[in-house]
Structure 1
């Protein structure tokens, strides 16, 4: 997944869309990781450590705010999140600022179950406002198997994976 300013999701492969949510299907304004984390209930059930993920996301927003204090779109985003998320308001008041470039996230995916994924955030050369976020699972682990299953489901549909009960019946 490629993230830009204000945690905007600029691009993602099919597996990333299936892992999180299909950001591409959302209106352009809604393709934002902070909006997903703080305003979409799916994020609270997806992340086993939601508080940590939310804190990391907020810290990245603060880091961006320090670099671009006059960004009107950032001001709008912070206002929206403050208005609609008690957790955002509480965490924003903590003034945590940091860049998270690697770590581990635990997810509970509705289709494939529990996953533990390592992540690495890579700067895009020539544009410090963009990062490439890469997730990997330990080889031969249950998480790797679950990720492979999600990838297989993703291959069956151009827009999203099908659950087994959604698979078309060949008998009609």
Structure 2
């Protein structure tokens, strides 16, 4: 019985590594987007009166969040995976996550928090994201990295996502966003 317990423990430890490597193979094949929720930024929502052009008025990454973003980048570098594009919400915690992980970031308003927009602006942003996802899935051999907020990912694919978690996204036969895999780098 002791040998069986050791084998079960060893295989349980190997599961996340195998899952991570399956994600790496999927990204290397291209035709997907990996969309991250920003790294750890304690609290909920931004304070009243926050401004996008002033990080001191927003909820930001803490030391753990900055370290998490750097670990995300290390995971990609270790596997020699380089996104063709790195797009981010203009919120500072998203820009910082993208820059710490990928050393570059292009702010894209469509990835911005829907809590700051009107219903029509949010619907237009969601359509823009869906179309960009369709376009990205047609590009074999390359992938994009997006960094955004939980609200955006929930609107795009439904369900929750943890801080710093990546969702590998494709589209189904009807060109609707499809969650293909998750990447959690602790």
Query: TM-score, with normalisation over the residues of structure 1?
Result: 0.27
Query: TM-score, with normalisation over the residues of structure 2?
Result: 0.25
Between 1 and 2, higher relative CO (CA 8 Å, sep ≥ 6) is seen in 2
